[in-house]
Amino acid sequence: MGIQGDVLFLRKSDRDMAIGPYAEVLTVAFETFEVGGGVSWLIPVTEHIPLVLSAGAHARGYAGGWEPGIHARIWMGSRSYNFESVYGLSAGLFVEGRWGLGDGQQADILGGVQLDFELFALPFLLLYNAFR
Bigger pLDDT: 99 vs 14? 99
What's the Cα-to-Cα distance from 37 to each of 77, 104, 122, rounded to whole Å?
21, 20, 27
Does 34 score more than 90 pLDDT? yes
**Terminal Cα-to-Cα distance of the chain (whole angstroms):** 34
Closest-CA residue to 6 (of 71, 47, 53): 53
Residues 58 and 96: beta-carbon distance below 8 Å:
no
58 phi, psi to nearest 5 deg? -145, 165
Q: How far apart are CA 101 and CA 68, in angstroms?
A: 6
Interval 112-125 mean pLDDT: 89
For the segment 80-92, what is each residue's pLDDT rounded down to a tens digit?
777 777 777 889 9
Model pLDDT, residue 63: 86
